[in-house]
Structure formats: structure tokens, C-alpha cells
Amino acid sequence: MRSAPPAPDPSVAPDAPADGAAVAQWQARVADEQAAVLRARAFAEPLLASETLDTGENTLAHADGVAAVLDLIGGGAELKVSTYLVYACEHLNRPRELITKAFGSDLAAVALETTKLVQLQRQTRIKAAQVRQERASAAEPGSTQRAAPSELEASQHENIRKMLLAFSRDLRVVLLRLASRLQTLRYIAAAKLSPDPALASESLHVFAPLANRLGIWPIKWEIEDLAFRFLEPQTYKEIARLIDEKRIERESHVEQVRQRLQQALRAQGIDAEVQGRPKHIYSIVKKMRGKALDFEQVFDLRALRVVVPQIEDCYRVLAYAHAHYSPVPEEFDDYIGKPKPNGYQSLHTVIRDAQGRAFELQIRTQAMHDHAENGVAAHWAYKEAGSKGYEGVHADSDYDAKIAVLRQLLAWQSDVESERRKQATQPLFDDAIYVLTPHAAIVELPKGATALDFAYTVHTDLGHRCRGARVDGAMLALNTPLQTGQTVEIIASKDGGPSRDWLNPEQGYLVSHRAKSKVRAWFNAQAVHSTIQRGRELLDKWLQREGKTALNLDELANRIGYDHAAGLCEALGKEEITLRTVEQLLNPTPALQAPDEVQLRKARHSPARAPQGSVLVVGLDSVLTQLARCCKPAPPDDIRGYITRGKGVGVHRADCPDYATLAQRHPGRVIEVQWNGVAAKGDVATHYAVDVAIEAQDRQGLLRDISDTFASQKINVIGVQTQSVKGVAWMTFTIEVTDASRVQRVMAALQDVAGVRSVRRR
């Protein structure tokens, strides 16, 4: 079996140009790249030479190992330079400033982003370890049962997955983390240490699938084998022993078949290179467990790979192999005609020689082989992906290539979720989807989210102005649920706002709680604006009538107790205060003599006075009392008395804003009053007029429905005032009740009327 290929030598790189002038230019570029890597290492060496990582590995040695892994998979000079800068970051006081000055802002951003991800992953592992320790401490002594391990590990895997996905807008960050994880596993294996099980599990279930999705098979296979070796050492050793038992005999036979097949193909005019292909232990175990096979039933322990120049040569080799060997029909796969989701292409077949021994045969072109060996890292130069596509897509532009790669990351996320669901009793991560912006940024949304949710997640103003959406280039309705991996482009108007239909759950426009709250906030702001406008109109009319239009409204608002004119107008629009308050401020009444010197007159008949005997003035008899029109109190409201000018005692509710203003200006005219709990002789029932203010979305039949509600509560309505401003209805109903408790009941019933937003007493 062939071992993993050594790190490539830049002096013999396969893409070297042929003509002399270009060769010199290319050699100069290679030299510059090598110098850049050496300069980055020299920059980091004083900082890292004496430092160690959590695993005990020397930090500089780890960075060297990561650079070697990146070299193995075809990573460019930028990636290798970034490796040293990442580990130097944590030991610099001003890393962004220093690295930008020495290597440029782009590499500084990569180093800082990767450092941030490293720190987050470290914190996640520490927290998970603490939780495991706490659970172990809480377990009964002598108990060997683990406390919900799958849930804890799955949660940790989910956190790591989300972090990697969040940082995947710069693929270099992801590649650096993959290479770093492989180097960590290599060090643990070489040092014969016992790794943290969580780290090994995370490597097997998160990092290896990510490398697979990106097509970086050397990293995938090695991470899988090392992680599996740490997680199941006995099984690993047993499979390794079975592989090694007849290694010499098997390798000798494979070499004979390899030479014979290569000579035969070249005799057929096919320029083919036939190689022995190593079989990885974890893939053997997966096949044995997935298909319930014994070790001897695994066909691809003997494996060959044929690399040819053109696609048609692949099928010629296949035809020759099937004609001169015995094929196993159920073991044939055409990944050229139907590539794997991550872009992998090859023909797979199993053949038997004359002695009946099975061989797995892979047939591919050189381009397919390059992609199979190095995947995305082989031709992703960050901002220049070239024309090579992924997921079977030919990328006509850098943008198309980037979108294709990002979709592989999203597919990897789905792979992890599917695997977790297989191992858990219920779905653990089934609550999110990931879609792309037109600029290839990844946006996380709740499952079932729509293009409208997407718009509000990107920006609140974009959501308000959203009028349509293109999903993967096709126009779709705004309430169409999105799927992971789709690209969403929002069509927005220059101005405008949301529709109330968006808040209707039956219409299905919004799923995100954040988006719904943004829409509600917009309508609330519009209602406040309408209220302020309504109050301003009332105030302007009164000032015109009084001939005081030159008055500074902000100063007037400050004198009443509001910070600005808008606050005063809003209070007037909501009828929290009345114009009488403003009038009393601008036209103050002369100060009266002290209360004990006031000459109170006997009550006289007046339509506005309080019902006979219903209100008592503490300490005085037969005093004229009058229920204030601004707040219209009714028992058992908490009430206050205020001595008016020639009209006896005005009775206000204790929470009346007008009373608060009067009491503040003339505290000496406040007098204690209370309801008389004993009805006057001969009275059947005392009725009080109360105002109920309603704010509602204007619609046909609204007044009828509200009137029906009053009728069902057996409430007599004696007055109605209505006004509609921009679709908002403001209504004031004057009703008769015997006590205020009935008002609360009818207000509760009014809240259930469709379209009613608020109900309150004036």
C-alpha cells in the first residue's frame, strides 16, 4: 500500500509554465512566497518558541506541523503565513496593528478571526469538561453509568459546528482549524498520550465530516483513523492486526496485478498510471458495521487506482477491466456521471482475478484525482477560485465558486444534524436553517423562516421596505418557507412600511420572533405618530381660538411637566390630559383665601353636580359638590376634592392629571372628600356618567360590534364621539353605571372585539 504523499516541492510544482520568460517569473513568485512564509515564522518564533498548548505540544512546533498539513493539501503561501500569525496573536499587545503593519490588513483579519474561533472552542471544551465533572461528582459512588453522554456531547458538537459555520465567511479560517486539529491528533498519537474523549469525539463527528464535504480527503481519512484509534482503541488494534497479518503476501499480489494492468492498458493505447490505494481503518470499520460484513467480506482491502488523461479513457479502462476480470455487479458506482454532493468524481468497481481474490478499482482523470486528493484547498485562493466548480457545478466566476463552496459548508451542517438525529431519541438541532445573501454571507434563521424573516434579519429597514424576493434566481411569494443553502435576494421599495397581514399567523409571512417584534414596533411607532398629530391638531385649534399661536410649544410643554412639545401633544392625543390643563396654565385664576376662610354655599340644583348625598366633604355639611368632567369619577374610585371658584368642591379621581396640576399649583385648595356609603332616602339607584376611550384599527362594522358589546353588558350609552386618522379609529363612549366595577367588566369585554388595540377610562 502507498503511504500518504510527501509535501510538494515548489521547485517541481505541476503548474509551472513552459516558456522561458514565464518560468523566470514563476520562479520569482515561488521564491517570494517561500520568503513570506519564512518571514512569518521568524516573526512568530520569539513569541512561540517557549510556549506550549493545552495538549503540552510546543506552540512553534504545532504551527510548523499545521503549515506542513496545509502544504500536503496544496494550501498556498497565504495560508501558511496565517498559521504563524494566528498563534502569535495571543502573545501580542496590539495584534491587529502590528500584524497589519508587517503583513497587511487582510492577513491580520484572518489571524484575528481564527484566534477568536480558537478561544471560543477552548471555552466550549472547558465548559463541557466542567459539566462532565459535575455530573460525575453527582453520580452515586461506584456507579459506572455515564450521565446523559450523548446529549452533552451532541450539544458540544452543535456549538462547535455553529462556530465553524459562523466563521466560514472566510474559508481560510476553516482550513486553518482543520489543519490544526489534524496536527493536534498527530502529536497526541506520537507522544502516546490519552486525549480528552470530547476532543476525539468532536474530531470524528464534526471536523472529519467537514473535511469530507470540502473534499479534503487526506485530512478526512487521517482525522477519522486517529480519532477512532483514541475512541475505540481495542477495535482499532484488532482491525490493524487483521490488516497486517498477511500484509506482505497481499502487497506482493497487489503489485503484480498493478504492473500487469498498467502494461495491458498502455498496450491498448491508454496512457494510464495505476497505483496501489491505501485502505483506512475507520472506513473498513464503517463498511463492516454499515453492511454487517465480516472482515474477509470487505472487498477493498486490495485496492487499485487508475489515473488517465480524459473522461473517455475512464470508460475504456472500465470496459477493459470488466472484460478481462470478473466484475461484482452490485459493487459498481458511476460518480462521474453522477458526482457526489461534494464534487467527487470517479468510477468505482470491484473485480476478481483468476484466483477469485477481490480488488476495488477506482478510475478517474488527473483533474478528478487532484480534486479528490486536495479538494477545495487545491484551488481556493480565497479571492480567486478559478473556474473549477463544486457540487457538479461549473463556476463561471469567482462568486459562483464561492457560493458553491459555501453550500458545501451548509450541506455539512445538514450532515451533522442527520447523524445526530440517528443517535438521539429526538431531533436536537432541528430548529435552524442557513441561507446565503447575494454577497455569499451565511444567515441563520429559525426552521420554516421565509424571505421576509431573512430581510428583517439582514436589516430592520430592509424588512420594512421588502416587497418581493428572488430565491436561487426565481421569484417566490414572501411567505414561502426557505431551505438550507438557498440564496435569497430581497426586492425592496425606496420607502414604505410593513403590512398588517404580516402579523397574521394564518398567512405565514413571519416565523422569527425578532421579525414580528420589529413589525409591531413599526406599527406602534405609527400609532404614536398619529396620536401626536391628533394632539397637535387639538392644541393648534385651541391656540388659534385663543389668539396665542406665537407661543413656544416646547416652553409650554416644560411648564406643564413634559420634556418637549411632542410629549405634550401625545398626552393630549391620548386624552391623558385635557386642554383645560393648558388653559389653566395660561390663564391662572387669582389666588383664593385660605380654606378655612372660604365661604362655601349650599348645594344648588345643577345638572353637573354630584348626586345628592353621594359625596361627603370631610368636616363640612351641606356643601355643593360637583363631579369633575375631566375624569368623571364613580364609586368606588379613589377621589380627591378641590375648592373651585364659585362652584363648590370639584370631585376628581385621585389619578386625574388635571387634579394633579391644580393640586401642585394651589395645594391650599385641596380638601378631603369621600363617597357616602349610605344612599339617600327614597333613592332607587344613583347613576354616574363615565367616559371610556377606545383605540382600534378602523374597519367596516367596528362601531356596530362595540355597540353590541355594550348592549350585551346591559350598559346604557348616552354619548359617542368618534374620529378616524389614517386607519386608526379613536372613540369616546359616555356610559351610565352605578359603580366603577362595572366599567372594568365592560372594558374587558371590549378588548375582545376584533381590531380593538386599547381600552381605558378617560
Q: What is the pLDDT of residues 89-132, one digit of tens each?
A: 888 888 899 999 989 888 888 888 888 777 766 766 666 666 66
Write out the three cell numbers for 123: 471555552
> Packing angle between helix 513-546 and helix 565-573, nearest 10 degrees?
90
pLDDT at 186: 93
Rounded to an integer, what distance in angstroms lies between the CA atom of residue 131 and that of residue 103?
Answer: 41
Task: Please tell me which residue, 407 or 270, carries the higher pLDDT value.
Answer: 270
Reported confidence tier of residue 597, pLDDT bands at 50, 70, 90: very low
Average pLDDT over residues 619-646: 80
Distance of CA 183 to the CA centre of its chain: 31
Contact 208, 222 (CB under 8 A): no
More confident residue, 478 or 281: 478
* pLDDT value at residue 109: 87
| Mean pLDDT, all residues of the chain | 76
Reported confidence tier of residue 148, pLDDT bands at 50, 70, 90: very low
> 231-240, 585-594, 624-633 — which is least confidently predicted?
585-594
Residue-wise burial string across 697-722, b where 16 or more C-beta atoms lie within 10 A, e elsewhere? ebeeebbebbeebbeebebeeeeeee
Could you read off the pLDDT of 636-673 as tens digits, one per residue? 888 888 888 777 888 888 888 888 888 888 888 888 88
243-293, pLDDT tens digit by residue? Answer: 765 556 666 777 888 888 888 998 888 888 888 766 677 777 776 776 666
Q: What is the crossing angle of helices 513-546 and 451-458, to 10°? A: 70
* DSSP class of 331: G
Contact between 203 and 144 (Cβ < 8 Å) = no
Portion of the chain with pLDDT greater than 70, in percent: 72
What's residue 126's pLDDT? 66
Every domain of the chain with CATH number 3.30.460.10 lies at: 244-379
**Mean pLDDT over residues 342-362, rounded?**
83
CATH 1.10.3210.10 boundaries in the chain: 10-131+150-231
Complete DSSP assignment for 537-601: HHHHHHHHHHT-TTS-HHHHHHHHT-SSHHHHHHHHHTTSS-HHHHHHHHSPPPPPPPGGG--PP
* The pLDDT of residue 589: 52
Max Cα distance, the chain (Å): 131
What CATH code would you report for 432-511?
3.10.20.30
The pLDDT value recorded for residue 84 is 92
CA angle 721–723–725, rounded 5-degree value: 165
Q: Is the domain covering 10-131+150-231 a CATH 1.10.3210.10 domain?
A: yes
And the C-alpha cell for 725?
386618522
pLDDT of residue 486 exceeding 80, the answer is no
pLDDT value for 10: 41
Q: Residue 555: is its pLDDT beyond 50?
A: yes
End-to-end CA distance of the chain: 90
The answer to whether residue 302 scores a pLDDT higher than 80 is no
Give the residue, 237 or 164, on which the prediction is more confident.
237
- pLDDT value at residue 428: 36
Flag whether pLDDT at 681 surpasses 70: no
Q: Decide if 182 contacts 219 (C-beta within 8 A).
A: yes
Could you report the per-residue pLDDT of 682-696, keeping only the tens digit for each? 455 678 888 888 888
Rounded to whole angstroms, the Cα distance separating 700 from 710 reads 18
Best-predicted range by mean pLDDT among 462-466, 587-591, 710-714?
Answer: 462-466
Q: What does the alpha-carbon distance between residue 731 and residue 693 come to, in Å, rounded to a whole number?
A: 6
What is the location of CATH 3.10.20.30 in the chain? 432-511
The pLDDT score that the predictor gives to residue 182 is: 92
Residue 384 binned pLDDT confidence (cut-offs 50, 70, 90): very low
Is the per-residue pLDDT at 617 higher than 50?
yes
Q: 59-72 and 20-48 helices cross at what angle (nearest 10)?
A: 160
Whole-number pLDDT of residue 512 = 87
Fold of 688-761: Alpha-Beta Plaits (3.30.70)
In the chain, CATH 3.30.70.260 sits at 688-761
- Whole-Å CA distances, 16 to 25, 29, 75: 10, 11, 16
Question: Percentage of the chain surpassing pLDDT 90?
Answer: 11
pLDDT at 481: 92
Indicate whether 187 pLDDT > 90.
Answer: yes
Tell me which amino acid residue 461 is. D
Asked which of 7-11, 96-100, 405-409, 624-628 is least confident by mean pLDDT, the reply is 7-11
602 band by pLDDT with thresholds 50, 70 and 90? very low
pLDDT of residue 295: 64
pLDDT of residue 144: 42
**Which whole number is the average pLDDT over 437-455?**
81
This model's pTM is above 0.75:
no
Question: Which of 488 and 604 is assigned the larger pLDDT?
Answer: 488
Alpha carbons 589 and 592: distance in angstroms, whole number: 9
Cell numbers that stand for 418 in this block = 442527520
* Per-residue pLDDT band at 380 (split at 50, 70, 90): very low
714 vs 252: which has the higher pLDDT: 714
- Enumerate helices (H) and strands (E) in the chain, giving the number of each: 25, 21
For residues 640 and 642, give the distance between their C-alpha atoms in angstroms, rounded to a whole number.
7
Higher-confidence position of 593 and 448 = 448
Per-residue pLDDT for 501 more than 70? Answer: yes
Whether domain 244-379 has CATH 3.30.460.10: the reply is: yes
